[in-house]
């Protein structure tokens, strides 16, 4: 059993986690008030992946959801306290399998309240798209981070 590599980013009212597993099967995602658990079998070699995340802060597990595509499983967590920034996804120290999704990251703390509609727009998008039609370019080839 291996943890799946994952990327995350946040908005005013939500947190997004993308588990990067190609051709996932037997996907199971569970949300708790302070936890998110993910498991699946994936890839051509059918490796079992399992991640359990002790979240930095509370979520509304009834309003959180996930969507499987051929390239990943995207989880959408509704914050219990919208407008409260999360400096990191996990309560504990950083995990090696987890990175920040810089392609989607943006500073929102000073944005207007109009941003609050993001959750509903995302929900509509998730409901309208078929699992196989959605092919975002999320492998991050265009991102280069150089530490000096």
CA distance 53 to 72: 17
Would you state the pLDDT for residue 94?
A: 80
Would you state the pLDDT for residue 141?
A: 47
8 Å CB contact between 77 and 16: yes
In the chain, the domains with their CATH numbers are: 1-83 (2.60.40.790)
Mean pLDDT of 126-145: 47
For the stretch 39-76, pLDDT in tens is: 999 988 899 999 999 999 999 999 999 999 999 999 99
- With a cut of 80, say whether residue 130 has pLDDT above it: no
For the stretch 68-100, pLDDT in tens is: 999 999 999 999 999 999 999 999 888 899 999
For the stretch 108-123, pLDDT in tens is: 665 555 444 555 555 5
User: In what helix (H) or strand (E) does residue 100 lie, and over which residues does it extend?
Assistant: strand 98-100
Query: What's the Cα-to-Cα distance from 15 to each of 32, 38, 59, 74, rounded to whole Å?
Result: 14, 15, 9, 11
């Amino acid at each position: 059993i291996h943890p799946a590599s994952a990327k995350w980013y946040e908005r005013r009212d939500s947190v997004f986690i993308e588990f990067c597993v190609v051709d996932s099967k037997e996907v199971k995602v569970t949300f708790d008030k302070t936890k998110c658990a993910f498991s699946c079998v994936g890839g051509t070699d059918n490796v079992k992946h399992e991640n359990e995340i002790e979240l930095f802060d509370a979520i509304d597990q009834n309003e959180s959801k996930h969507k499987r595509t051929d390239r990943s499983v995207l989880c959408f967590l509704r914050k219990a306290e919208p407008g409260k920034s999360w400096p990191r996804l996990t309560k504990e120290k950083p995990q090696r399998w987890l990175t920040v999704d810089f392609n989607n990251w943006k500073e929102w703390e000073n944005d207007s309240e109009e941003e609050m509609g993001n959750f509903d727009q995302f929900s509509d998008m998730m409901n309208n798209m078929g699992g196989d039609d959605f092919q975002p370019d999320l492998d991050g080839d265009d991102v280069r981070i150089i530490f000096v």
